[in-house]
Each structure stands twice: as structure tokens, then as C-alpha cells.
Structure 1
Amino acid sequence: MGQPTTKSDDTLTVRDNRTGKTYTIPILDNAVSATAFKDMKAPSKPGERKENETEKGLRILDKGFLNTAVIRSRITYIDGEAGVLRYRGYPIEQLAQKSSHLESAYLLIYGSLPTRDQFKHFESEILRHGVMHSDAEEFFRSFRYDAHPMSMLTSAFAMLGSLYGEANPSLQGQRLYTNGDKQSLATMDRQIYRLIGKATTLAAMAYRVRQGREFVTPPTGLSYTGSFLYQMDHIGEEDYKPNPVLEKALDVLFLIHADHELNASCTTVLQTGSSLVDPYSAIAAGCASLYGPLHGGANEAVIRMLISIGKPENVPAFIEAVKKKEKTLSGFGHRVYKTSDPRSFIVRKTADEVFKVTGRDELLETAMALHDAAMKDEYFVKRKLAPNVDFCGLIYRAMGFPLDFFPVLFAVPRVVGWLAHWRQMMLQEGGVKIWRPRQVYIGSTKRDYVPVDERVPVVGLRETPSVVEHGGITKRTMLATFKGKSRL
């Protein structure tokens, strides 16, 4: 990816009032290099902490990456103010209507929509790589019956890395994925096929563990989402085929969840991948990040919120509780979108199709009442808290998926986006540099070690370890006497 040229007036002039010096910083694609500020050095003030490192240049403090770009990308574009989402330039609305999840996966990863033959090859490879090694059965059976499916899925992605030594740069050389030659690209593509193909298989295995059922080998002749539904639900019926409406709905939801630029989980994949670890470990890290309630767990949180509200007539009281910060509002607002999430309109249309088959979810009326109340309330309008894509949980619920499986239904399609960004980083011009953010140290300056008998206790809720209440065998053991027991 070549560096763009700049005009002479495409610069930022900064005057450092500490020294009186003026600096000119190039502006490339409406961005300035953070490292340019390292040149802005000043002598330390009398009494200033050495840890400020003033003489080493300015640092950029951006808690939570609110306005820091970490990579140049060609993959996904979001305009949060206008409610725009595009994959490689194509509006998400057009793709949801005309494309499929795997076709859009090809687009995200390789940069263009495939021809018929190109897509046939890509789809064939992915579906062929859906079959798991028999050792995976023992792996999944090792989990408790009530293990959260996201914990299982995260562990399973990491487990895959142990099966494919040829995919590990630690074993095959750190330039395994960065060479960019034919062999390197073929190795990379093989892992892409495996990860996308096995994502549904691993998810289905996690689901079957919870159901107490035997695992199902991926069938032939079905679509990506059709195969997924088959693996989750087939219990021996002859010529079993999932409902086409549900199959299509799941495909649409997979498509709109496939990528969303540098969200928390994608950034985690790139942060982890920047060490040149194998892609399975990087994807496992992304899956762990997605698990959180501020990210992939949000659609589960929406349903739990609606259940807690109950009937539509309870919505006004809930709204007031949110304003008083007594309750948390889930499914509204977004870190990027300051208007409606464009995916939310696709979700509504998809929901209508699903409800024709499954019947309307009883929580739908509550959700609509909440939507209408929030959209009319100045408190939410002022804060631009419009509905986001997390209301797709209503569709998953109508389709019969358990609440704790919702994040898995987010993770499976997002593997595509993670891989697209990982591949782009591996092949970027200039190679891969390990991500190493700076910090602003505000802790204690240098202090000398104090002998234990001379120390003054520091007391505070955050400054001392918590006292944990023990029960069961631990409590009885603490009350027992035995040789070597601590007398403290």
C-alpha cells in the first residue's frame, strides 16, 4: 500500500509555548503522525517528575482510542454521523439484499466481488474444511455441562492452533505470512478456509454439548448457514433440511455482522497478531474480547433488559430509572454511530420475515414501546441514543436460540472480518511492527525499600486485598489442625 503524496499546504503548524519552537507536521488522508510529536521536546521544569519524560518529547494521550488511527485500511468504511457502513465501498444495504455471507466474506478478505467460478472455489474450500479432527470431540466433552458456549468457542479456536503446526510462525519462521509470495499466500488461505469453515462446526459442537447430544459431521449440499443449522439441530431425521426462511435470515445476520472496522475484538486480533502468532491464537483472542457485555454480549444484554422490563406498560418507569442512572439501557447508542445504525433497518426487515414463520416474540411489543419512548424523549435524542444492531437478539430468541448462545452467533460471522484485517496487516507495505502503546506514568516516583517491621499499613478499599468468605472444604480445612499449617 503506497504512501500518498501531500500538497505543500497539507500540513499542521504547531507552536510549543514551552520553548517557542514551531513545528510543521504533514497531513496525510486527514491524519497526522503521532510520532511527529516526539520531536517536541522541552527542558524539565524545576521539581517536575522525571517520569514525565519531558525531554524525550510529547506523548499522545488517548484513553480508549477515541481518536487514534493505528493502521491504514482498505476494508470497511463507517460514517457514524451519516449512518453509513460499506464493505470495500459497497453499501451494507445492497449487500444484505443481493449478496450472501460467503460472497461478502470473499469481498472483505480479497477486495472484490468474486466471479461465479471464483466464488465456487472459495465456497467449496470453506465447506470442505468444516470437518473437525476426531480429537475435538474429546476436547468439547471435557467442559462442564453448563459451561458458557463463548468460553468453549474461545478455547476451541486456540485448540485448533495445536492441530496445525505448519500454520505456526514460531515453528515455521516468522515470515510465514509476511512474505507475500505464492507459497506464503497459499498457507495463509488454507488457514482462512479452515477458520471460516470450522467456526460453524465449533459453534455447533458447543451448542450440542449444552444439549447433551452427539456431534454431527457437517453435511454436503447445504449452504454455510444451512450446514450450521443442520449441525445444531439434526438428531437422525431422514433428509433433514433447515427452514429456508431461518437459513436466509441467519445468512443476512451473518453478513451484516461480518465486519465493523476496528472494533474492540478486531483490534484485539491485530494487537495479538502483531506478535506474528499463529492466526488461531489471534482469533481466539478476538473471541475473548467479543465475549464482553460492551461488545458481543450486548445483544444478550438487550433481551435480558427486555425480560426485566416485562410488559410495554412498564417502559415509562424503566425510562425514568435509566435517566436516574439506576438502570442500564442496552441496544441504544453506539461508539461510532451518532445516528441510526444502518444495520438496524436490515434487522427489522429480517425480523418481519422470521416472525412470519416463528410467530411474533412476546417481547417485541415491549421492544417497540421502548423504541418509541426513547425516540421521543429529549434525554435520549440529545445524547443521540438511536437503536443499534443489538436488537437482533429478538430474532435469535424467536428462532429458539438460548440467550447465552447469542454472542456465539456474533463471533462466527465476525471471524471473517478478523481474518480480513489480519491478512491485510500481514501483507502491508513495510512489514508488521509489534503493537506497543505508550503510557503516561502517574505512579510513585523513585522510593527506597522499607523493611517489613518499619512499614506503615496502607488502608483503603482499592489499596488492600479483599477478604474472601470461604465455605465447604476450605472453611473446614482452615478450622482443622495439621502439620505445617500456617500460624499467621
Structure 2
Amino acid sequence: MNDDKVSVEVGNAKNLELNLLTPSLGNQVIDVSKLGNSGYFTFDPGFTSTASCESKITYIDGDNGILLHRGFPIEQLAKEASFLEVCYILLNGEAPGKEEFSKFERDIKHHTMVHEQIHRLFNGFRRDSHPMAVLCGVTGALAAFYHQGLDVENPEHRRLTAYRLLSKMPTVAAMCYKYSIGHPFVQPKNKLSYAGNFLHMMFATPAEEYVVNPILEKAMDKIMILHADHEQNASTSTVRTAGSSGANPFACIAAGIASLWGPAHGGANEACLKMLEEIKTVEHIPEYIARAKDKNDSFRLMGFGHRVYKNYDPRATVMRETCHEVLNELGIHDDLLEVAMELERIALNDPYFIERKLYPNVDFYSGIILKAMNIPASMFTVIFAISRTIGWISHWIEMHEEGMKIARPRQLYTGYVQRDFKSKL
């Protein structure tokens, strides 16, 4: 990887040679790790110009709208693979054979139930708690059930932890929803698919049988695939930071859930739905489009454009097709969905949006799909967390495999210089 060197002059550090690293894809990277030895370090708010780690899992080319998982394009995975196949690929680096996948699927389904004491833990939360608050708390609490004898340096323990997290997250997430509406928890059914099982735990009741709609099952599976991993985003970086101390993996994932909750990250599709509720009807759209174009107006269209993708979000292409499949299947006529479809039409045809590449992103379409499936907005980010768990745990495992260094960012201190203290009491 150290293909070349670059010479820099910083203050008294004359002709300081830094390694120039060449990735398999993407831009060359200057290794500044030894800059500190010369008495200097870099200032990079948000780490937008800093590679915090080396990874082989996911690659993004935002300018060209490319997303690869272990080298496989997201469009192909969404079309040809199931979510659990993508999970296997992210964990292991290669696509599974038939026997490998069957064993993997059995192993995941073996761990879908949660300890009975976890059921009682829910009673400690207020009924009107946000499901993400509950999910974060309960996931962190799982660390209390899986800690004795857990050795994060043992590959087999890491594999078992990955399976437990993957299998239990949909169960806990569905419990968060059931608790919020006062319904009894529904036990997992391992004969169902991963996505089908989650929908069953969400919507089944003891009073009557619930049959999973295959179109909605397929849509949920695609939503999970498209949110499985996205390189070094805020929540993944949080998991890596927490994991760098050797912390319990369930606690690390709880930290990732906390980071994901924010409206600038996983809460974007929930924020998108709130925007649609604010617009209310198609007749109000011109007013809000004008406001979005007014740089002096604080209103922003949520669900359009992306911080990373300067072109069309490749996930949105797949999600758009799925969105229309779901709406056609359900035959829903809803004011908010009509607003969303009209906004989509405008964004794809209005020169203002096209020139600025403000295309509908994956959050825009996933929010519409989830609303059409009768899933409340408060659960949108919870479903994102189910999907992203495989990405988080894959990065956590990779970090341990590659040998980790505890995260310790520096700071640019602008406070007081040293001064003497005298009590004013």
C-alpha cells in the first residue's frame, strides 16, 4: 500500500516525508499518522478529509453514484440476493454456496428469541417512549446477558455475537412497537424469512392469524438490503470508536443506535414524512417548492440530495421501483403519498433540482413505503437500525481482525491559557 511518499514542510519540520497510500479503489491517501512526532497534527472537523481506518467491506464513489459491498454493486445485490445473503457477504467477504447459506440461515434463526427477563425490562419504559430510545436501552441491556466468558479476541465468540445480534434485533425492534401500542409481544416464527418474520412480529396478534403479504415481504427485504452498510458513516464510526476500547459488542451496537437516531442520519426518512405532513396536499406544493428555492427561507426539502452522492443515489433507483410496486399492490390513495409522488415528479423534471442534483434519495422512498405498509414514523429509524446492524457488526469484527488502536482524536484548543485560581467565596 505504501506506493510512494510525499514531502511536506510544516513549520520547523522541513521535508517531512509522509507515506502516500494507494487504495484498490478511490483517491490516494496521505498517511499523517507520524505528523504528531514532529509536533503538529491536522484539524479536520467532522473527519470529512480523514480516513480513520482501513476497510475491505464497502466502497462508495459519490460522484458517480457507485456503492459496492465486498465489490458487488448494490443494484445487483438488491435484485439477485436476499438480505441474509447480503449479511453473509458482508461478514465473510464472499457469496455463499447453497450449503453454506443453509447453515448460516439455520444459525441465525436459532437465536431469534430473547431472554424472558428482557420482556419484563420493557415495563421500565414509559408507554409513550420513542421506540429508538427503547431499542437503544434494551440492546445495551443485552450486554448484561452476554458478557460472562465473552472474549472479543476469540473469532468464534465474535461470530456467535454477530449471529445473536442479527437474529435478536428484529425481535427486540418488534417488541418496541408492540409495547408502544399496548399489544402483547409476538414470538418469532423461524419458518418465515428474515423480513417476513419481522412483519409477522409487528402485525400479528393472538386474536387472529396474520399472513405476510409477499410483495410487502419483498419490499421490506429490499429496504434492509439497501440500508445494510454505508462505509464510515456517523453510526458505524461510533461503533468502531466504542469497540476500539474492547467494549462489549452489544454496548457498541447500542452506541451505534444512539448515533443513528439523529435526523441528519437515520432519522432522515422520519423527517421526510414530517415534511410531507407539513405540506399536507398537492395544492400546497408550489408554495413549498418556492420556499425551498429561496436561500433566505429556512425550509428545506427532506429526502432530496445526499451528502455523499453528488449524483443519483444508487439505492434510490431500486427503492423507487419497489415503492411503486408497493403502492400498486396496496392501491392506497392518501394525500401524503400523492404529495410525495408529485414532489418526485417535480424533482426529476425541474431544472433547479436537476442542475443541483437534488434527486430523491433512499430515505424519501423508504419513508413512503413504510407509511404505505402502515408502519408509524417513529419506527422508521428502528427498521434502519435492524438493517444497519449487519454493517456495524461487520466493521466491529474487521476492526478486531485487523488489530485495533483505541480511538483518541486530538483537538484544537481555544480556551483560556493557564491562570491562577483564587476563590471568590
Q: Normalising to structure 2: TM-score of the pair?
A: 0.94
Superposed CA offset, 1:234-291 (max 9, x none): 1136664211111111001101111111111000000000010010000000001011
Residue 341 (structure 1) aligns with: 313
1:256 and 1:145, CA in 2 relative to 1: closer, same or farther beyond 3 A?
same
What is aligned with 1:367? 340
CA distance in 2, matches of 1:61, 1:88: 31
Q: Does 1:388 align with 2:361?
A: yes
Per the TM alignment, residue 376 of structure 1 is displaced from its structure 2 partner at its CA by 5.2
Is residue 257 of structure 1 aligned with residue 227 of structure 2? yes
Return the offset for 1:34.
1.7
**TM-superposed deviation, 1:299:** 0.2
Aligned equivalents of 2:70 and 2:176: distance in 1? 32
C-alpha distance in structure 1 between counterparts of 2:206 and 2:117, whole Å: 23
Q: Which amino acid aligns with 1:190?
A: L
Q: Does residue 386 of structure 2 align to residue 404 of structure 1?
A: no
Offset, 1:36: 3.1
Counterpart of 1:116 (choices 80, 83, 98) is 98
CA distance in 1, matches of 2:78, 2:13: 55
Structure 1 runs of 4+ with >3 Å offset: 237-240, 371-384
Correspondence list, 1:186-197, <5 A: 186-197=156-167
For the pair 1:68 / 2:50, whether they are aligned, the reply is yes
Equivalent in 72, 83, 87 of residue 90 of structure 1: 72
Name 1:34's counterpart in structure 2. Answer: 32
Q: Is it true that 1:248 corresponds to 2:218 in the alignment?
A: yes
Residues 160-182 of structure 1, C-alpha deviations (whole Å, 9 max, x = no match): 110112364xxxxxxx223xxxx
* 1:437-477 C-alpha deviation (Å, 9 max, x unpaired): 00010111111113225xxxxxxxxxxxxxxxxxxxxxxxx
| Residue number in structure 1 paired with 2:394 | 420
**Helix, strand or coil at the partner of 1:166:** coil
Tell me, yes or no, if the aligned pair for 2:18 and 2:32 is still in contact at 8 Å: no
Q: How much has 1:311 moved relative to structure 2?
A: 1.8
Is the 8 Å Cα contact of residues 305 and 359 (structure 2) preserved in structure 1? yes
Cα distance, 1:372 vs. partner? 4.0
Secondary structure at the aligned position of 2:304 is classed as coil
Contact 1:167 1:191 in 2 (8 A): no
Contact persistence 2:282–2:335 (CA under 8 A):
no
| Cα-to-partner distance string for 1:398-441 (whole Å, 9 max, x where unaligned) | 0000111111110001000000000000100xx22110000010
Name the SS of the counterpart of 1:209 in structure 2.
helix
**8 Å contact kept, 1:201–1:231:** yes
Residue 326 of structure 1 deviates from its aligned partner by 2.4
Deviation at residue 310 of structure 1 after TM alignment = 1.6
- Structure 2 partner of 1:274: 244
Specify which of 14, 22, 34 is matched with residue 8 of structure 2.
Answer: 14
Distance 1:12 1:376, change over 3 A: farther
Residues 274-324 of structure 1, C-alpha deviation per residue, up to 9 Å, x if partnerless? 010010000000001011111111100001101101222322221232322
Q: Which amino acid aligns with 1:442?
A: T
**CA displacement, residues 97-138 of structure 1 (integer Å, 9 cap, x when unaligned):** 110000100000111111111111111111110111111111
The residue type paired with residue 372 of structure 2 is A
> Is 1:204 equivalent to 2:174 in the alignment?
yes
Instruction: Report what 1:225 is aligned to.
Output: 195
* Inter-partner Cα distance in structure 1 for 2:207 and 2:276: 35
Is 1:284 aligned to residue 262 of structure 2? no
Residue 13 of structure 1 aligns to a residue whose secondary structure is strand
Deviation string, structure 1 residues 317-369 (Cα, Å, up to 9, x no partner): 21232322321321112221111111111111111111122224432332233
Q: Distance in 2 between matches of 1:376 and 1:444?
A: 54
Q: Is the 8 A contact 2:2 2:19 kept in 1?
A: no
Q: Give 1:380 deviation, angstroms.
A: 4.4
CA 20–407 in structure 1, closer or farther in 2 if over 3 Å, else same = closer
Question: Which range moves more in the overlay, 122-131 or 232-241?
Answer: 232-241
Amino acid at match of 2:9: R
Q: 1:22 to 1:193 in 2, by over 3 A?
A: same
Match of 1:309 among 279, 285, 304: 279
- 1:24 equivalent in structure 2: 17
- SS at 2:383's partner residue? helix
Residues 273, 282 of structure 1: 8 Å contact kept: yes
| 1:32-53 per-position Cα deviation (integer Å, ceiling 9, x unaligned) | 112232344xxxxxxxxxxxxx
The one-letter code matched in structure 1 to 2:310 is K
**C-alpha contact 2:21 2:30 (8 A) present in aligned 1:** yes
Name the CA distance, whole Å, in 2 between partners of 1:210 and 1:355: 26
Equivalent AA in structure 1 for residue 277 of structure 2: I
2:25 matched residue in structure 1: none
* Range that drifts further, 63-72 or 214-223: 214-223
For residues 350 and 61 of structure 1, the distance between their equivalents in structure 2, rounded to whole angstroms, comes to 42
Which residue type is aligned with residue 62 of structure 1? Answer: D
Per the TM alignment, residue 233 of structure 1 is displaced from its structure 2 partner at its CA by 1.4
Identity %: 43
The aligned residue for residue 465 of structure 1 is none
Q: More deviation in 304-313 or 437-446? A: 304-313
Q: Determine if contact 1:167/1:278 at 8 Å carries over to the other structure.
A: no
Once residues 96 and 208 of structure 2 are traced to their aligned partners in structure 1, the CA distance between those partners, rounded to angstroms, is 35
Q: Which runs of 5+ in 2 are unaligned?
A: 23-27
Structure 1 position 439 matched with structure 2 position 411: yes
Alignment deviations for residues 365-412 of structure 1 (CA, whole Å, 9 cap, x no partner): 322333344455565455443221111100000000011111111000
Contact 1:83 1:337 in 2 (8 A): yes
Per-residue Cα deviation, 1:191-227 (whole angstroms, up to 9, x for no partner): 1111000000000111110121111111131111111
Distance 1:140 1:62, change over 3 A: same
Paired with 2:322 and 2:149, the residues of 1 have a C-alpha distance of 38
In the other structure, the counterpart of 1:153 is: 135
- Judged with a 3 Å threshold, the aligned counterparts in structure 2 of structure 1 residues 80 and 135 are, in CA distance, closer, same or farther, namely same
Moved more, 135-144 or 272-281: 135-144
Distance 2:277 2:149 in 1: 45
Query: Structure 1: which 5+ runs fail to align?
Result: 41-56, 169-175, 179-183, 454-488
Partner residue, 1:480: none
Code of the aligned partner of 1:31: V
Give 1 or 2 for the bigger CA radius of gyration.
1
SS at match of 2:212: coil
Q: Which amino acid aligns with 2:6?
A: L
Q: How many residues align?
A: 416
CA 375–230 in structure 1, closer or farther in 2 if over 3 Å, else same: closer
